[in-house]
């Protein structure tokens, strides 16, 4: 509970309408897309950097925990207010402040929805590539905090690759500016890169300058179905070694394919082990050339069925299976966790096989979707969280999953972050010395430990 004085002060800062403390409203800010929940004492909706700074000054003085939040779509518990206190929700800071086509950048507030920025950029013939699956809901602020990626990551990278500068409110309320508006910028430490992916533990981002790029002239997709996973894996390696950089290179295993076929009947073979979906873009000529080559590589590696899109509508049809995959999986059981282990590209087939074996060993239903081009895999784990015994098996599966990924030279998370979900596995990938550096950084920026406490640091 916040004291009367503090709650009055906060109301004064953000305004009566932007301060919530009723039980129903608090409950609505007690969860994100991960399993557990935790109640805050108040939710505030600042509408400017100044308001954020004023809120932080009060919180710092009173040592009240503050958990920043956007749309709350992260799936690692990153926005759960574990120690109560204030949820600082940035959804109402949602203005696109500037789009500059000449210098190819945009300045946005953190509450701007990723998809809205993409649409705005497109009006200028420009392109903002990071495309997390939640792009129609998730905010740029949240994308920065989690360093979100997406299928286009293979060619275009992740959120961090598009950040030019940030305005950040520190734990004590001071406001700093990092980076600038230029692509090249080596003045001092790369603080922009530091705040990106810090999951709200180091500061609160209140303004973001992103790089925009020219929209490619054309794009095409190729769908290839393989009898064996090895064939699919070899095709991936062949494509990646050929010099072609696909926009997206997605893999789907037989569990996912079977479930999609059962509910949609789109003609996916139920005896195939893997499906690849590859997209290329660029000038019309090069897209044509690359499409032919990619199809050829798939054929050489045993693809038994290859489809190439001719028009935008075909594109939709080819991507249907991929887009519908999460829904089909999620409907099969009450709960679905999407894991995020990432391995070197060449280890992908081995990792998929490990996942299948582990799932069988722990008697857990797991389907695999993967951004195969960058080794980023999303095993979808299905269960009913009300069944304790099943939950235990899921836990054990997850633990073994991470061990295997690390064994193969990979890591815990490619694009979802650590948050609460993977905190206890951090030692698998970080030495005590490395973790100590994280703590020292945290301490120097947030000495009282009020920013998103209880998370990975």
Partner 1 sequence: MSEVSSHRGALLSEKTLENIHHCNKCGLCLAACPVYREVLLESLSPRGKVQLSRKLLEGDLEITPRMREILSQCLLCGSCVSACPSGVQGDKLFSGLRWRAIQRFGIEWKKKILFQLLAHRWLMGGSTRVARWARSAMGKSLGEGMRLGALPLSRLPDFNPEPFSKEVPEVTQAKGEVRARVLYFHGCATNYIFGEVGRAVVDVLSEMGVEVITPKRQGCCGIPIFLSGAREDSLGCIEEVLEEFVREGVDAVIVDCATCGSAFVKEYPHILEELRELGEKVDEDLVEKARILASKTRDVMAFIGDHMSWLPDMSPQGPRLRVTYHDPCHLLKGQGVGILPRKVLAGLPNVEFVEMDAPDACCGGGGSFQVEHPEISSKITARKIKSIEATGACVVATGCPGCRITINAHLDSEKHIRVLHPIELVKMALEGGSS
Site residues for partner 1 per CB under 8 A: 20, 22-25, 27-29, 31-34, 45, 71-73, 75, 89, 91-92, 94, 111, 113, 115, 134, 136-138, 326-327, 330-331, 334-336, 384, 386
Residues 6+ apart with CB under 8 A from 171: 56, 60, 66, 203, 445, 446, 447, 448, 450, 451
* Alpha carbons 380 and 336: distance in angstroms, whole number: 6
Query: Which residue in this structure is represented by tokens 């939709």?
Result: 316
Give me the least distance between CB of 93 and partner 1, in Å please.
10
Give me the least distance between CB of 287 and partner 1, in Å please.
28
Give me the least distance between CB of 327 and partner 1, in Å please.
3
Give me the least distance between CB of 355 and partner 1, in Å please.
20
* Alpha carbons 166 and 248: distance in angstroms, whole number: 28
* Alpha carbons 77 and 38: distance in angstroms, whole number: 10
Instruction: Identify which of residues 34 and 195 has a Cβ nearer to partner 1 in the complex.
Output: 34
What does the chain come to in residues? Answer: 457
Instruction: Identify which of residues 111 and 129 has a Cβ nearer to partner 1 in the complex.
Output: 111
* Alpha carbons 427 and 283: distance in angstroms, whole number: 45
Distances (CA, A) of 374 to 150, 202, 249, 415: 10, 28, 8, 11
Instruction: Identify which of residues 98 and 384 has a Cβ nearer to partner 1 in the complex.
Output: 384
Give me the least distance between CB of 25 and partner 1, in Å please.
5
Bridge partners (DSSP) of residue 408 are none
Instruction: Identify which of residues 72 and 149 has a Cβ nearer to partner 1 in the complex.
Output: 72
Instruction: Identify which of residues 87 and 225 has a Cβ nearer to partner 1 in the complex.
Output: 87
Instruction: Identify which of residues 240 and 328 has a Cβ nearer to partner 1 in the complex.
Output: 328
Instruction: Identify which of residues 3 and 136 has a Cβ nearer to partner 1 in the complex.
Output: 136
Give me the least distance between CB of 323 and partner 1, in Å please.
10
| DSSP sequence for 302-353 | TEEEEEE--SHHHHHHHHHHHHHHHHHHHHHSSEEEE---B--GGGHHHHHH
Give me the least distance between CB of 37 and partner 1, in Å please.
8
* Alpha carbons 33 and 272: distance in angstroms, whole number: 32
H-helix or E-strand spanning residue 14: helix 4-14
């Amino acid at each position: 509970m916040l004291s009367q004085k503090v709650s009055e002060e906060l109301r004064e800062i953000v305004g009566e309408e932007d301060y919530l403390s009723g039980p129903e409203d608090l409950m609505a800010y007690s969860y994100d897309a991960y399993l557990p929940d935790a109640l805050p004492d108040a939710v505030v909706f600042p509408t400017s950097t100044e308001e954020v700074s004023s809120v932080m000054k009060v919180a710092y003085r009173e040592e009240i925990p503050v958990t920043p939040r956007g749309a709350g779509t992260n799936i690692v518990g990153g926005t759960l207010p574990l120690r109560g206190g204030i949820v600082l929700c940035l959804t109402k800071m949602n203005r696109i402040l500037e789009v500059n086509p000449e210098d190819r950048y945009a300045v946005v507030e953190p509450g701007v929805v990723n998809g809205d920025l993409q649409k705005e950029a497109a009006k200028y013939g420009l392109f903002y590539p990071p495309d997390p699956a939640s792009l129609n809901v998730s905010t740029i602020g949240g994308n920065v905090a989690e360093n979100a990626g997406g299928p286009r990551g293979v060619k275009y990278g992740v959120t961090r690759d598009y950040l030019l500068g940030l305005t950040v409110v520190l734990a004590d309320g001071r406001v700093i500016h990092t980076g600038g508006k230029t692509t090249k910028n080596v003045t001092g430490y790369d603080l922009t890169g530091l705040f990106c992916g810090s999951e709200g533990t180091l500061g609160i981002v209140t303004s973001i300058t992103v790089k925009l790029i020219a929209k490619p002239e054309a794009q095409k997709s190729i769908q290839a179905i393989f009898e064996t996973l090895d064939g699919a894996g070899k095709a991936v390696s062949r494509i990646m070694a050929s010099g072609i950089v696909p926009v997206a290179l997605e893999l789907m295993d037989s569990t996912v394919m079977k479930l999609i076929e059962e509910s949609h009947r789109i003609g996916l073979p139920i005896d195939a082990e893997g499906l690849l979906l590859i997209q290329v873009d660029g000038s019309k000529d090069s897209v044509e050339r690359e499409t032919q080559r990619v199809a050829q590589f798939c054929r050489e590696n045993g693809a038994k069925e290859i489809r190439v899109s001719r028009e935008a509508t075909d594109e939709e049809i080819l991507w249907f299976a991929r887009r519908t995959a999460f829904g089909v999986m999620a409907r099969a059981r009450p709960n679905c966790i999407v894991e995020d282990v990432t391995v070197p590209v060449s280890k992908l087939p081995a990792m998929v096989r490990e996942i299948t074996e582990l799932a069988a060993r722990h008697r857990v239903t797991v389907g695999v979707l993967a951004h195969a081009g960058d080794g980023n895999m999303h095993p979808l784990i299905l269960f009913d969280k009300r069944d304790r015994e099943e939950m235990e098996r899921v836990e054990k599966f997850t633990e073994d999953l991470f061990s295997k990924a690390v064994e193969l030279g990979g890591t815990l998370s490619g694009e979802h972050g650590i948050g609460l979900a993977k905190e206890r596995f951090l030692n698998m990938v970080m030495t005590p010395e490395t973790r100590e550096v994280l703590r020292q950084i945290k301490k120097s920026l947030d000495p009282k430990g009020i920013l998103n406490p209880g998370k990975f640091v």
